Amino acid sequence: MCRWLAYSGSPIMLEDIVYKPDHSLIDQSLHSKLGIETTNGDGFGIGWYGHHDTPAIFKEIGPAWNNRNLRELTSHLRSRMFFAHIRASTGSAVQQTNCHPFRHGRWLWMHNGMIAGFHQIRRELALAVSPGLFSCIEGSTDSELMFFLALSLGLEEDPPGAVARMVGLVEETGQRNGVENPMQMTVAVCNGETLWAFRYSTEGRSRSLFHSADIEGLRALYPGNALVRTASDDARLIVSEPLGDVPEVWIEVPEASYAMVHRSRNEIRPFSPAAVATRS
Amino acid sequence: MCRWLAYSGSPIMLEDIVYKPDHSLIDQSLHSKLGIETTNGDGFGIGWYGHHDTPAIFKEIGPAWNNRNLRELTSHLRSRMFFAHIRASTGSAVQQTNCHPFRHGRWLWMHNGMIAGFHQIRRELALAVSPGLFSCIEGSTDSELMFFLALSLGLEEDPPGAVARMVGLVEETGQRNGVENPMQMTVAVCNGETLWAFRYSTEGRSRSLFHSADIEGLRALYPGNALVRTASDDARLIVSEPLGDVPEVWIEVPEASYAMVHRSRNEIRPFSPAAVATRS
Amino acid sequence: MCRWLAYSGSPIMLEDIVYKPDHSLIDQSLHSKLGIETTNGDGFGIGWYGHHDTPAIFKEIGPAWNNRNLRELTSHLRSRMFFAHIRASTGSAVQQTNCHPFRHGRWLWMHNGMIAGFHQIRRELALAVSPGLFSCIEGSTDSELMFFLALSLGLEEDPPGAVARMVGLVEETGQRNGVENPMQMTVAVCNGETLWAFRYSTEGRSRSLFHSADIEGLRALYPGNALVRTASDDARLIVSEPLGDVPEVWIEVPEASYAMVHRSRNEIRPFSPAAVATRS
Amino acid sequence: MCRWLAYSGSPIMLEDIVYKPDHSLIDQSLHSKLGIETTNGDGFGIGWYGHHDTPAIFKEIGPAWNNRNLRELTSHLRSRMFFAHIRASTGSAVQQTNCHPFRHGRWLWMHNGMIAGFHQIRRELALAVSPGLFSCIEGSTDSELMFFLALSLGLEEDPPGAVARMVGLVEETGQRNGVENPMQMTVAVCNGETLWAFRYSTEGRSRSLFHSADIEGLRALYPGNALVRTASDDARLIVSEPLGDVPEVWIEVPEASYAMVHRSRNEIRPFSPAAVATRS
């Protein structure tokens, strides 16, 4: 459906991660290897933390591979935490408000996957969004709605808990409406300080997700590799599919788990949906 | 906010109405005289009935005045009933799904105006959309939501009644939430056979709306006028602001009324909002 | 680089050719089988003859596969002669003026292939364009320049001769500048009455090109096939790669030859470049 | 035709100049006061110097006033020298390669005005571009061609001299072809170190151009003014029309003269076209 990457570490020029590695995200926009579709050309977006607490976002509806503005920006922007996403629409409109990452205050969110039977349960899920947040919804994707559900369920206080409740709610709603495997997702969310990345699907066959290994260790083994050489010791990457040509850089995020990256620390923890108290 | 025109009559090349008259809709996209904004450059759309019962739509997010595709299409398309709309956004995203006209089955809908306090009451209004229609909503405008509310309230069976109920619902919801003058609208809706155009605002100061006078009569008076000469005897136009240079062509649609055009017949009737039975 | 199709025959809804067949041009925009690139997502265009002698064109810079306007238009437009093209840029800007087909008066032109070493010889070729036509050049592609060279060399009087001279000029200019195999092309050109399609490359290994077989004969053999059933007896198609699922529909245009389609007549003739008299 | 601004000074957030002042460039895109057109909605661009010697550029074909990416970028980018431009096309295509600023190596160029009779003399001017630069031309504007002519005539060594020769060439070519007043321009050009801004027209009635007064002096007079307060002592601005609400900030660049800004120095010098040696 989509491909994405998330970076946390010492400030780095975005192009060093987004364009320069072999099989970069730009290459994946034309030739994804592990995605459902080889082409991810229905829009793209980047979100990055710079001078402010609030991140900036840049989104376009054309393909990433031919976008000159993206090429320009990533070669002039440095950031210590950023998201990049390329989209393959499963039918919803190709418009900026459907491009990832989504932003709310200091938070960024992006997603690969889908809510099965979304048309059937979209209304019920929309009603579960906190009334104060409802009018912030601008697009028509399941991904954005998942974000606003997670925000409604406490994302800003307890990200893993809120994502667990969001998934629980989607699964409960879907199953009640006869949808067999409601949730399929890899999701990244961050607040400028910490980054969480979830891999989960109801059926237990989630889309691919990888995190980077310890760069310091890799540097000794691959001193000549560009990606390894460019990255700082504290650099941590989470990606839909591996970049570069050194397989040892990448460790699969296990099924039903999530990564939490804070500075140079990267922990992997189990993930399971949580029940949401019945609404009156 | 926006400008629009609706045509019903013998098949005519779209450019004869959209481009060729003095102060055409294209001119209004740069130099509106009666609109709130002089510039209407936040997207545009046309909808037309051709070979099928279902109308076609063509929408773009750039300004109408520099769009070459619009120029091409209108000079090669003939239609017996069509809508054209230019948009001035009041803040909602500039995207195709926010451009008018909106379509559902055989029906087209377009709007100039706004629901005051929309962000406050958007959720409550969205909940009043029929569950079966909710997932058809693709954009984020008040205009599209008004359309789906009208559809939910019987537009396909009784257009004037459904629009009256939609307005009643919006006013009741707005006023209950402390919005003083919730509704400001000129709306056109058609099904390929009949065209209705409403002019109404809660405060009784609605945006401008005009319908064309009897063309046959004008032809005798202005034999050399291009617009009058091009139009067929059964041509009926409804416009946000007058086209051409013959003021006698245009008759104001009175405050709180609507026009109903069916073939060469054009009736003006009073319009007032209707109460909607309280939902359980 | 690109994929295209050209239709001549009884008026047909464009979608019947552009969208409906298996492996349609829209499918080729994502999954080309015979092209250099599998993805052709750098813009598209259609050109069609309708009510006027001059054809209309509709071009967009996004991919064809997700373009709703293209879907709408092709399902409401009928034409007796039309071109459709999907682009894979080899570096030149993604902009409408670089999308095919190109138009001049009654003429349409589209191209798949490239002039090798174009950056080196672009200026010299541009100088060979007739001064009166030079200012009509709006884009930066080799394809548009080939069109204006052909027009300068007599396209409107003798299409095969002018294309032969254009190729001769490009080859002579390229070779004089040390370019080994200057020309690689399949080109379609028409004037609303007759359609010519050329397959040629300096190295004798041209991109794929096919023309349709006699539809009347196919109808007897494949009465249930949708493409065969939809097409009229006089329908003639020329395509970069076969549509539909009946291989017998398609006959390869031989290397170094061209097809000339006029009404139901389709002749294949040899093609070879012609020398151009030295300019003073 | 267009409106632009150029900044040189201590690094500043782009939005402080582009968005925040009263009657900002964004406001001018809808409501220009001194331009030929009140609306400048046919694309825009910014160019800025950041971490590299080579500037970055960001261009879009829609209007500036509704572009969310521009809003995002200018609120996260700081620069010590930047250009911003909003375009009102006089007919040439609305495409990124026709948007300003244009870039070549370290150089940026933007323009307001026009070459009269451009279609007539475009070919002759194009031939005067250095053969090595010809293939860098991507768009179809007079503005870009003026840039490449200036580059061909020594812009990188002697900017005022090269611009004088470019104007001389355009005037000589125009007049030889019967064009009465060939040149109308305000042009800004910079290399990341120094900024030049020219005001000239053959008829001696050039478009408006202003430079900022000494900020240090203004600060004492208008301590509460936002624009004055935000700008550093070494800030120098050149603009098509005044920003903000303090008229004393702005000094008209005289007819037939140019400003040269280097650090805090701003000199105004006379400008006159120079003859170019006849080409063989």
So where are chain D's domains? 3-270
What is the predicted pLDDT for the residue at B280?
42
Amino acid D245: pLDDT = 84
Per CB-CB distance under 8 Å, the chain A contacts of C39 are 30, 38-39, 41
pLDDT for residue A264: 85
Identity of the residue numbered B223: P
Q: What's the token pair of residue C81?
A: 């002669």
- Among the partner-chain residues D52, D59, D72, the one whose CB lies closest to the CB of A58 is D72
In this structure, are residues B61 and B96 in contact, taking their beta carbons and an 8 Å threshold? yes
pLDDT of residue D276: 86
User: What pLDDT does residue A228 have?
Assistant: 83
Q: Which partners does chain C have (≥3 C-beta pairs < 8 Å)?
A: A, B, D
- Asked if B102 and B108 count as a contact pair (C-beta separation under 8 A), the reply is yes
Distance CA A133, CA C107 (A): 55
| pLDDT on residue B35 | 82
Residue C216, pLDDT score: 83
d(CA D5, CA D14): 11
Measure CB to CB from residue A93 to each of B96, B119, B134 and give the nearest one.
Answer: B96
Distance from chain centroid for Cα B69: 22
Q: Which of A48, A72, A97 would best serve as a mutation to test chain D binding (most D beta carbons within 10 A)?
A: A72
Looking at residue C111, its pLDDT comes to 98
Cβ contact C73–B50 (<8 Å): no
Q: Is the dihedral of CA D68, D69, D72, D77 positive or negative?
A: negative
CA distance C161 to D264: 64
One digit per residue, the tens of pLDDT, for chain B of length 280 reads 699 999 999 999 999 999 999 899 999 999 999 887 889 999 999 999 998 999 999 999 999 999 999 999 999 999 999 999 999 998 899 999 999 999 999 999 999 999 999 999 999 999 999 999 999 999 999 999 999 999 999 999 999 999 999 999 999 999 999 999 999 999 999 999 999 999 999 999 999 999 999 888 888 888 888 888 888 999 999 999 999 888 889 999 999 999 999 998 999 999 999 998 755 4
- pLDDT-above-70 percentage for chain A: 98
Assigned fold of A3-270: Glutamine Phosphoribosylpyrophosphate, subunit 1, domain 1 (3.60.20)
- Confidence at residue C122, expressed as pLDDT on a 0 to 100 scale: 97
Answer whether residue D237 shows pLDDT above 90.
Answer: yes
User: What residues contact A161, with CB distance under 8 A and at least 6 apart?
Assistant: A154, A274
CA distances from B168 to B125, C74, C173, D165 (A): 12, 40, 74, 70
Neighbours of chain D (3+ CB pairs under 8 A): A, B, C
> What rounded mean pLDDT belongs to chain A?
94
Q: What pLDDT is attached to residue C167? A: 98
Distance from CA of D220 to the nearest CA of B (A): 38
Q: Which among C37, C39, C62 is the nearest to A61, CB-wise?
A: C62
Measured between CA atoms, the residue of chain C closest to residue A67 is C94
The one-letter amino acid at C92: S
Mean pLDDT of D55-62: 98
Residue D136: is its pLDDT beyond 90? yes
Nearest CA to A57 out of A2, A104, A1, A112 is that of A104
For range D223-227, the mean pLDDT: 82
Average pLDDT over residues A143-165: 98
What is chain C's pLDDT, residue by residue, as a tens digit (280 residues)? Answer: 699 999 999 999 999 999 999 899 999 999 999 887 889 999 999 999 998 999 999 999 999 999 999 999 999 999 999 999 999 998 899 999 999 999 999 999 999 999 999 999 999 999 999 999 999 999 999 999 999 999 999 999 999 999 999 999 999 999 999 999 999 999 999 999 999 999 999 999 999 999 999 888 888 888 888 888 888 999 999 999 999 888 889 999 999 999 999 998 999 999 999 998 755 4
| Concatenated DSSP letters of C82-115 | EEEEEE--SSS--SGGGSSPEEETTEEEEEEEEE
Over residues A44-68, the pLDDT tens digits come to 999 999 989 999 999 999 999 999 9
DSSP secondary-structure letter at B97? Answer: G
Residue A280 has pLDDT above 80, yes or no: no
Average pLDDT estimate for A193-208 = 97
How far apart CA B114 and CA B88 sit, in angstroms, is 11
Q: Which long-range contacts (CB under 8 A, 24 or more apart) does C128-132 make?
A: C128/C152, C128/C169, C128/C173, C128/C279, C131/D123
Contact across the interface for C59 and B76, Cβ inside 8 Å: no
Residue D1, pLDDT above cutoff 80:
no
What does the alpha-carbon distance between residue D210 and residue D224 come to, in Å, rounded to a whole number?
A: 22
Q: C46 φ, ψ to 5°?
A: -130, 150
Distances (CA, A) of B125 to B98, B105, B168, B171, B173: 17, 22, 12, 11, 8
Of C61, C63, C68, the CB nearest to A41: C63
> Considering chain D, what is the average pLDDT of its residues?
94
Burial A226-263 (b: 16+ CB within 10 A, else e): ebbeebeebbbbbbbbbbbebeebbeebeeebbbbbee
How close is the nearest chain A Cα to the Cα of D50, in Å?
A: 7
- pLDDT (0 to 100) of residue C90: 82
SS3 D80: strand
pLDDT digits (tens, 9 = 90+) for D165-182: 999 999 999 999 999 999
| pLDDT at residue D280 is higher than 60 | no
Q: What pLDDT, on the 0 to 100 scale, is given for residue B1?
A: 67
For A24-49, what is the mean pLDDT?
92
- How many Cα neighbours within 13 Å face the side chain of B138? 18
The predicted structure's pLDDT at residue C280? 42
